[in-house]
Amino acid sequence: MIVAGPKLVELDGVEKHFGAVRALGGVDLRVERGECLGLVGHNGAGKSTLMHILAGTAVPDRGRIVLSGGNQQKALFARALGSDARIVLMDDPTRGVDVGTKLEVYDLIREEAQAGRTFLWYTTETDELKQCDHVYVFRNGTIVADLRRDELTEQKVIQSSFTEAS
Ligand SMILES: Nc1ncnc2c1ncn2[C@@H]1O[C@H](COP(=O)(O)OP(=O)(O)OP(=O)(O)O)[C@@H](O)[C@H]1O
Ligand SMILES: [Mg+2]
């Protein structure tokens, strides 16, 4: 279970198994803002598994993870941009992220797109849709509209959402 909370990172009894292998056997851990925390241990001790769980790319079997609002989103986003991925898939990337950071993220995405990186973005926020070059509107499993950036309005999106594909 991942919940948003005031602490930066807090893990309680986090367990992760891969088949019969116990990668994490009940991890309790706290990280404070501004802290630089080291992880050390022999091969297979569970370090990478812990990182994956924090980044949201692995789901614990048991235990509780508390992340400060939007922290998980930021971690995922940073991870995507830090890689050399040519295409980045984003599922509501700024959910829970504060307004200032959102604007920074939009700038960053535009910059990265200009530099040749491709973004595929699911969002419900009109502000975010306006960052896209064009937007496909889905309804009942089909694309019912293709709106260019310059013609995109909230009204058009809503209108299209209620229109059947022709
Ligand atoms: N995707 C996976 N499928 C099956 N077993 C896995 C998977 N990921 C990790 N494991 C197992 O979980 C245990 C913990 O692995 P993990 O990669 O977290 O360790 P690590 O501390 O990062 O090791 P290393 O120092 O070698 O990077 C190991 O026994 C590993 O083989
Ligand atoms: Mg590792």
Q: Is the shortest distance between the CB of 21 and ligand 1 below 6 Å?
A: yes
Mean pLDDT within 145-149? 93
Q: What pLDDT score was predicted for residue 69?
A: 57
- Inform me whether the pLDDT recorded for 85 exceeds 90: no
Spatial contact of 86 and 111, defined as CB atoms under 8 Å apart = no
Ligand 2 centre and the CA of 70: distance in Å?
25
Q: Is the shortest distance between the CB of 45 and ligand 1 below 6 Å?
A: yes
Closest alpha carbon to 15 in 56, 59, 71: 59
Q: Is the shortest distance between the CB of 38 and ligand 1 below 6 Å?
A: no
Amino acid at 137: V
Residues 6+ apart with CB under 8 A from 2: 56, 65, 66, 67, 72
Report the C-alpha gap between 98 and 73 in whole angstroms: 11
Name the residue with the closest Cα to ligand 1, atom 1: 18
- Inform me whether the pLDDT recorded for 65 exceeds 60: yes
**Mean pLDDT value across the chain:** 84
- Inform me whether the pLDDT recorded for 1 exceeds 70: no
The predicted-structure confidence for 34-64, as pLDDT tens digits, reads as follows 788 888 999 999 999 998 888 777 889 999 8
Ligand 2 centre and the CA of 108: distance in Å?
29
- Inform me whether the pLDDT recorded for 156 exceeds 50: yes
CA 71 from centre of chain: 9
Q: Which of 9-13, 72-76, 89-93, 106-110 has the lowest mean pLDDT?
A: 72-76
